[in-house]
Amino acid sequence: MSGMTSRERVISAIEHIEPDRVPIDFGGVVAGIVLGPPYGYEALCRSLGISDPAIPQINTRLNCVQNVDERILERFHVDTRHVNIGGEPLEELPDGTFRDSWGLILKPSGLYKSIPDDLAPLRNAATSDDIENYPFWPDPHNPAFTKGKKKEAKNLHERTDFAVFSHPGYAGRIFHMYAGLRGFDKWLLDMRVDPDFYASFATKITDVAIEVSQTFYNEVGDYTDVAVYYDDMGMQTGGFVSIGDYRKFVKPYTARYVKAIKGMMKAKFFYHTCGSVYSYVNDFAEIGIDILNPIQPLAKNMAPEILKKEFGRKICFHGGIDEQRLLPFAKKSEVRRSVKRTVEILSSGGGWIMAPAHNIQPDAPPENIVAMYDAVFEAHRRPR
């Protein structure tokens, strides 16, 4: 199979049809690059001779650049482009923290913004009325969510051959939102201590998430190839909850969201979860998740060879290039060898979109980033 467009290449990989080369992603909320120092986006631009990039548009929490310069995307042979929901501003509060459009309180923490448990706005909620009366539930029909987004997505779909990834922002994260509004500790405790409250709160978040996402996808869905959702479920050593608790307390809500979004358009469904989620992957595939990101290779049981063998025909992998140790600390030659090995493991028969295993952090030298993208492009599997 040769001469594929970027969109065809991505869709073929998702459908487990080996494309003409490995599809490449860069620049999204979980496959992008963070502002420095010591390196970061600015240093990458300089290393590639780009002296006039646009002012970076920054993700509200992760400090990653959402408008990566088109010259970088072309240099790295990137097959995707990303459309993000609008209308998610931050309000600076007198104590130096920030409040977002869902009422989450964000605290500056170095390069990033954390969501401290003790500042969770619904931490002391105790009843269904407390949930319903929360003043910051977003209006699903807020025009700020969609302003200009239909035109943006339509232009990408009709005037380019890139695969369009659409991101509904905070609406695409049910249990991140639960932990942010309630506290991470109470998310885990509520399951066991007060399951009725848990069900009420998780249902409310899911209702609102679906409504906001549907408002967004009503505008961009016809032009979207991949719908993106984020909800971390893993640590470095395993999942946050047992497989039994996952199936009882998490899976039903995620499944409902996936069904609602896939029911309104033809897009594939992309699920981001950091950490070791090996025990959940069969369940992800069962509820209709097409693409699993970020494939954190140093987490337990998340090595590419394990995942390809166990789940390679059930789900498409996205990511897989280590940015915990490889990108920041390895030599260029080591980066190239590691990337080519990952290509050999994951590319056969499709089922992989190459990207870093989460956003590239500021400690990764530009030469290693370039080596990563050059290696995967040079190592692509040619038609036989």
Amino acid occupying residue 6: S
Condensed to tens digits (0 to 9), the pLDDT of residues 123-135 reads 999 999 999 999 9
Cα-flanking dihedrals φ and ψ of residue 99, to 5°? -120, 135
Residue 347's Cβ-count burial label (10 Å; 0-12, 13-18, 19+) is buried
Cα-flanking dihedrals φ and ψ of residue 56, to 5°? -60, 135
- Answer yes or no: are the C-beta atoms of 71 and 18 closer than 8 Å: no
- Answer yes or no: are the C-beta atoms of 299 and 236 closer than 8 Å: yes
Cα-flanking dihedrals φ and ψ of residue 320, to 5°? 95, -10
In whole angstroms, give the CA distance from residue 290 to residue 110.
Answer: 34
- Answer yes or no: are the C-beta atoms of 306 and 339 closer than 8 Å: no
- Answer yes or no: are the C-beta atoms of 302 and 276 closer than 8 Å: yes
Condensed to tens digits (0 to 9), the pLDDT of residues 308-356 reads 999 999 999 999 999 999 999 999 999 999 999 999 999 999 999 999 9
Q: What are the DSSP calls for 35-82, one per residue?
A: B-SSSHHHHHHHHTT---PPPPPB-TTT-BBSS--HHHHHHTT--EEE
Residue 1 has pLDDT above 50, yes or no: no
Domains of the chain: 6-87+125-378 (3.20.20.210)
What is the three-class DSSP state of 191? helix
* The two structure tokens encoding residue 252: 């039903």
Q: What is the pLDDT of residue 89?
A: 87
Alpha helices in 82-194 (DSSP H): 128-132, 149-159, 174-182, 184-193
pTM for the whole thing? 0.96
Query: Span 57-84, mean pLDDT?
Result: 94
Q: What are the DSSP calls for 334-370, one per residue?
A: HHHHHHHHHHHHH-TTS-EEEEESSSBPTTS-HHHHH
Condensed to tens digits (0 to 9), the pLDDT of residues 13-63 reads 999 999 999 999 999 888 999 998 999 999 999 999 999 999 999 888 888
